[in-house]
């Protein structure tokens, strides 16, 4: 079953929803969905609706269910990397269930996001997140905020477990993982050049613990995804499988 994200839409049984122009174009010309087809609509706030496409290509809502918030809320402070690496992090991170992305200009960030381009980049990044949520069936659309320094990002984070990946740390991840599942976890990953000593000190003062992911040197776009997959397996839903109805749809939603 194909699904579409309609952020903040009022999904009410019996209601007819009109698609935004870009979604309608994708539905008709790319997916070639015809009248009478059944689809899913996600509002990005945990509500999932089953709907039927009408003759006028509106969506008639048949049923609505509310998906509970995740057991563990994951936030990723990602040092702004070069090129399109951040787009990969946003896409794959959404698929893995990251709930909040904080792309951050850090001291060793080679890429410098100019103020006049910030809004344009944010729109593109949000589009990538939304498309990844649609593809993966993520009912809770991740938050996205850009910060121009680490201190500003740290001020936004509230978490039970705070970690930062640092090449100078010899502390294994397993030694910092609490037995009692945390409700909120925040992780800092530096850009290509890593986290400076000054930034590491700021992170420690904010309650973050330095951690290592082992002997290999991981690229910045790999590091965050690796630790988020681990944390999602341990404290989230990555090890829980899916319901039988979801399993029946697997494969159909990859197009």
pTM: 0.87
Reported residue count of the chain is 255
Give 206's contacts (C-beta < 8 A, 6+ positions apart). Answer: 154, 157, 162
Q: Which residue has the tokens 């121009």?
A: 148
Domain spanning 3-67, CATH class: mainly beta
Out of 3.40.1280.10, 3.40.50.150, 3.40.228.10, 3.40.50.2300, select the CATH number for domain 73-235.
3.40.1280.10
- State residue 223 phi and psi, 5-degree precision: -60, -55
List the chain domain ranges: 3-67, 73-235
36-70 pLDDT, tens digit per residue, is 888 899 999 999 999 998 888 888 999 999 999 99
Both tokens of residue 121? Answer: 């980049």
Low-confidence residues of the chain, pLDDT below 70?
Answer: 242-255
Both tokens of residue 253? Answer: 């939603």
Q: How many Å apart are CA 95 and CA 103, to the nearest integer?
A: 17
């Amino acid at each position: 079953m194909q699904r579409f994200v309609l952020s903040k839409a009022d999904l009410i049984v019996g209601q007819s929803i009109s698609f935004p122009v870009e979604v309608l174009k994708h539905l008709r010309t790319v997916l070639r969905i015809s009248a009478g087809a059944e689809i899913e609509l996600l509002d990005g706030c945990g509500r999932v609706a089953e709907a039927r496409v009408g003759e006028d290509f509106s969506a008639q809502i048949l049923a609505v269910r509310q998906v509970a918030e995740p057991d563990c809320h994951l936030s990723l402070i990602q040092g702004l990397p070069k090129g399109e690496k951040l787009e990969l992090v946003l896409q794959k991170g959404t698929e893995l269930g990251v709930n909040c992305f904080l792309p951050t200009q850090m001291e060793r960030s080679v890429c410098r996001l100019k103020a006049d381009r910030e809004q344009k980049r944010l729109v593109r990044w949000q589009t990538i997140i939304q498309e990844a949520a649609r593809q993966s069936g993520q009912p809770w659309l991740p938050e996205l905020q850009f910060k121009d320094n680490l201190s500003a990002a740290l001020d936004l984070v509230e978490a039970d477990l705070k970690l930062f990946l640092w090449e100078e740390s010899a502390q294994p991840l397993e030694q910092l993982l609490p037995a009692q599942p945390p409700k909120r976890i925040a992780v800092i990953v530096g850009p290509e050049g890593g986290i400076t000593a000054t930034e590491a000190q700021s992170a420690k003062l904010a309650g973050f613990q330095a951690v290592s992911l082992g002997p290999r040197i991981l690229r910045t776009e790999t590091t965050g995804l690796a630790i988020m997959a681990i944390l999602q397996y341990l404290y989230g839903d990555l090890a829980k499988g899916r319901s039988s109805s979801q399993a029946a749809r697997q494969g159909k939603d990859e197009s």
